[in-house]
Amino acid sequence: MAAISRVGQLLDSYERGVVIALGALYKPHVPAIAGVQESQPNADILMSDYTAARNHMVDGQLLPNRLVDDRVIDGMRSTPREEFLPKSLRSVAYVDEDLALGGGRYLMEPMVFARMIQEANIGPDDAVLDIGCLLGYSSAVLASMCNVVMCLEEDEAMAEEATQLLVDCSADNAVVVTGSLREGYAAQGPYDVIVIEGCVEEVPNFIKDQLGEGGRLVCVEMVDGVGVASLYTSWHGDVGVRRLFNANTPVLPGFEKEAAFQF
């Protein structure tokens, strides 16, 4: 969805599910912001409005789509997604869409992200690698569920901002590091869980190699031209894969399949 720079009018938010912004009509499954009155189109959005929108996201998008893990539900309900977005996108923080942040990078759709990390079965003692953390939203959710999360971002400006935003939301067990997303971050491995924040045409073997025994890797992977959420598991040196559900997630730059050598 194209970036929306400010909120226009929000009409009958939850019941009608209609958002009018800058004169363009958009119909998400849930409202961008619930509770803002039509008579106040230029009013500052209140914290309570974001909280209501976040609850609508969980109740209207996630729970009806097979999200049952209480720890994932709690993480999604308590983490202020809008705080990890540019101000121009905060009004649409809770729509069920991937949000473009520039440079071919997207904040993943909430339902796809939540169902993927549910399948990763993250435990409180787990070490997690979050590849492509952007401004830190995914890492904040993960930090609420695990022992430590390494937040890998190759854009240094985003990484710097993510560090401060994670401090602001008291995610003290999240550590932001910079480096190539495609290479992962072996320096602090092996990991119990690896999450790739986007679609990949293939998962590089050297990222799979950063999984510990019993480690899980979740991502959206292109399979026969279709994005499919996938769960990789490492056991006794072998890595198997289970396909989970279809997901129309944009390809993460740098994870395109390498062209085969031709004579």
CATH code: domain 110-246 is 3.40.50.150
The pTM for the full model equals 0.82
Tell whether the model's pLDDT for residue 9 goes beyond 50: no
Percent of the chain whose predicted confidence (pLDDT) is above 70: 80
Tell whether the model's pLDDT for residue 207 goes beyond 60: yes
- Cβ-proximal residues to 204 (8 Å cutoff; 6+ apart), any chain: 182, 183, 184, 255
On whether the CB atoms of residues 54 and 68 are closer than 8 A, the answer is no
Tell whether the model's pLDDT for residue 2 goes beyond 80: no
Tell me the C-alpha distance between 77 and 96, whole Å: 15
The predicted model gives 48-77 an average pLDDT of: 96
The strand pairing partners of 223, in sequence order, are 226
Look over the chain and give the mean of its residue pLDDT values, rounded to a whole number.
Answer: 85
Q: Token pair 């990789």 is at which residue?
A: 232
Tell whether the model's pLDDT for residue 29 goes beyond 70: no
**Residue ranges of the domains in the chain?**
9-102, 110-246
Q: How many CB atoms lie within 10 A of CB 244?
A: 17
Query: Max alpha carbon distance in the chain (Å)?
Result: 67
The per-residue pLDDT for 3 is 36
Residues 78-128: pLDDT tens digits?
999 999 999 999 999 999 999 999 999 999 999 999 999 999 999 999 999
The per-residue pLDDT for 257 is 79
Helices (H), the chain: 13-16, 47-56, 70-78, 110-120, 137-143, 156-168, 205-208
Tell whether the model's pLDDT for residue 69 goes beyond 70: yes
